[in-house]
A and B are shown apart, each in its own frame.
Chain A
Amino acid sequence: MATGSLRWGMHSRSAPLNGGRIVVIALVAVLAYQVLVPLLLIVWTSLKTIRPGEPGFLELRFTLANYARAYGISEFWEASLNTLYFASLSTFCAFFAGTFLAWAVERTNTPLAKLIGLVTLGRIIIPGVIITISWILSASPSIGVLNHILNSLTGVPRLLNIYSFWGMVWVQSLELTPLAFLLMSAAMQSIDPRLEEASAIAGAGTWSTFRRVTLPMILPAAAAAALLIFIQTVESFEVPLLLGGRARTAVYTTQVYFNTSRMPTDWGLSSTYSMVLLFLSLGLLYVYFRLVRHGERYQTITGKDYRPRRIDLGAWKYLTCAASLLLVFFITGLPFLTMLYASLLPRFRPPTAEAFAAMSLVNYKTLLTEGGYALQPLWNSTVLGFSAATAVMLLVAAISYFVHKTRLGGRKVLDFLAFTPIALPSVVLGSAFLWLYLLVPLPVIGTLSIIGLAYLTRYLPFGLRFVSASMVQIHRELEEAAAVAGGGWGKNFRYIYLPLLRPGLMAGWFWVMVHAYRELTISLMLARSSNRTASVIIYDLWSNGSFQQLSAFGVIMFSILIVLVAIAQKISARYGIQERV
């Protein structure tokens, strides 16, 4: 059995049905259900000028009219070009900043490394809409707090303008730096330091070692980070909508929004636009696979023992510390402080003695005294965040194992299916799940389950890239040794891979949990009276209430999530997967 488990991996095409194959079949079935049905709905709708539900929608007669309409206008191509610039620049900046922070925190003796890491991650918790508004309040030419300060220091008014293309790039880069940080720090935790030591002994400097040894070893994580950041930026909505409108810069998502959002929603056009994202994602996934096709080159976790070692930067450590602190101030500190400041005011105004005198806790009081209004949705989001993150990470760990550690036929299909949802805009995915469960008579409408199932699909691609980046670093010799000692694939997966994947799993779990907590579009489409989530409350406050109450809710949410993450880390450390290297 022991060697058999390896054999099916090596010669799977002729192997009999065994445990591993059954698991793969089950995974394909789950993915087909979760991914293929919404995907089919989107492709189908893009080929129809009839709305879903109208007579003729399900007839096997198709048209390319939506494609001609969507891509036949010059605005689409102008917006696409803007998107390319916007996404490329944001990806470059976020990747550079995130990698620098990950390196400083994980691989060097930079002071305050733990604090820098924690504050960087804290940023992910704050919803994007609040961050964008915080930046408007900080760097708007007329009312920006930073502009007031700079004006008093330099005498030059309106020095910063957040309503510009570069303002968009700045906010988007800061928004996605924590994602790059998470992916890169997980990979950097798994590097065997002996290679860096050998480089140092051979006379290479710190920069040279980073460039020629460290970076190539973490190529899968770097490629995954760049891939996800790029696609996330192409898909991003809050920054282009709130800043791009004022900057008069249309990008892909705002172009789609303006062309499809009028009543009634133009589902055909909307689906057609999402096909671009699908093909773009698949193209980038292909590039990613080409980059990491020699998996054995990145296998740094072997059977030999090693102890993580940090590079001594000498006096330079103070410079890296200062640079990191400045970065995290912009990433998390400034937006959080703006949010905290606004939450204490009855009406937003620049910080003056009068504004400080008007401060009170009334916004918090209003939120918390309204019975279950805010509390039940917060609880719902907590349940959804924990369960969606756990389910996604378990599923992607299994998928990643079969994709990267076996030669089973069709394993790439697993990767393709799990990655495809990245191309499905949330609004289309939410709508597809609504339609699906209106048609399939399962009693999930109005429950947390329907939102959880949609989240599962939504976050599969992200979870997968987190885990895959760690999976390719694990050398197969560990499994081979276990197989010789009598371990089957299940035991190997449980006792070898899961513990070694811990950095990637934890990073991915955290990312999915927080994003599930923040997710708005799907939650809005599937919410009813009993399954409202925290983000629906945020939307209520945004569209109906005030920025002050919204900020107060953001502060509460930030506090809850920090506590949840701390609990999760404690649980993971005490009862979770033990490292056995």
Chain B
Amino acid sequence: MTTSNLPALLFMVPFMAALIAVAGGWLVAGSARWIALAALAVTAVLAVASVPLVLTGGPLHTQLGGWAPPIGIEVLLDPLSAGVAALVAVVALLIVGGSMREVREELPGQETVYYGSVLLMLSGLLGIVIAGDLFNLFVQIEVASLSAYALVASGGRGAPRAGFTYLIIGSFGASVYLAGVGFIYAATGTLNMADVAARLAAADPSLVMVGGVLMVAGLGVKMALFPLHTWMPAAYALSPSVSASLMAPLVTKVSAYAMIRVLFWVFGGGTSVDRVLLDMVAVAGAAAIVAGGVMALLQTDLRRLLAYSSVGQMGVVALGVGVANAPGMTGAVLHIANDALMKGALFLAAGTALLRFGVREVSDLSRLRGRAPWTSAAVAVAGLSLIGIPPLGGFFGKWYVLNGTLADGRWALTAAFMVGSLATVGYVLRLIEPLFFTAASGNEGQREGSAPALVACALLALLVILIGVGNERIVTLIVTPALPGGLR
């Protein structure tokens, strides 16, 4: 076992930067954004550098305060957490870097608070990724969530109410997770994930079952797993577009990671509980694919459509996790990365559409036709990837998950997957049609978003393409080592 301060640095850098950014922005107006950008750049470099380190040298552990686990609190980077941390840090850097002008326009006078909340949320999200302890995971979830509630509620009309609903449902979910941790603690007497996993076999099965169901349900709220997704559409549709474009790619994806971590690294110890929990997640995932796809098809509000699309994509992840075989899990992990990148590009484009062209409704996207070719192209790439057109990233995530359901011969799940995919084709065409095929209307002469937003949007779309083109290497070099052991 290698001890290193690198895992702890990943969440300490944005955390300390949050304090510095608020103080700095208070002393020198406008300095918060540069402090945020610098901190996120450092975090992204550390996170990306940690991936090869962990892949070659094994997991890195930090024992906080020098106390060895299971007594001390441990944070760690293994191949899975290093990969997700790199994804989170890079996407956050691109979006924060790309939306500086938009933040000034959309939240005048609130810039310092915005960047403080953003940094706190990222320290919470990265804290979730590196948590090696069930209670610590709860605290980091709350750090990330409290900042997220504030980011949603900081918007105009309707945003405070959406943020409030998000707060009540989200905190309820976190509390349910904590109650589950209580049952697991009662059953095993420990909280360190590896230690709990080792002791589960000897623990009281009924306590473990109740604890497991509560924990999975609580995390399900956070990852917007159908039918626990109800907070998400309003939160992402009514929040400031800069908040939505940062949260939509990250919050649910990191929660999905936490779900994988708990299911396989805590409950994966061969107990019968594990199978029940996985079936719950698989069925919810299949239902989410259908419901998310159909609901997205019915939306008229652009960001609401994208939020329901996320419900469906998180369903794909959950289905892959739930079938719990090697292709399913490969697809789930790949699709976490895909959806982060696709939703990053799409929500940035939706922000440009709102701020430059006043577009809220899907049908108004025709105003962008011919006037914002690069933004439109990024939407097309991300949209086609959502459908699953090869060789884009989305195809491979869905392909592996589909193979996962076929491998087990669970036809009902496969059928749900197909129906949801069909709905995806429908709603993506609703996005692409006004951008490329309808006569342009209104707002003559305006063009594109700010240069940084355009670059960020283009880079995210490029990463979607790269994940697809380099898929074989990514799966063998990064995804496969990150999967839990013992999968078929």
The answer to whether A and B assemble together is no
B residues lining the A interface (CB < 8 Å)? none
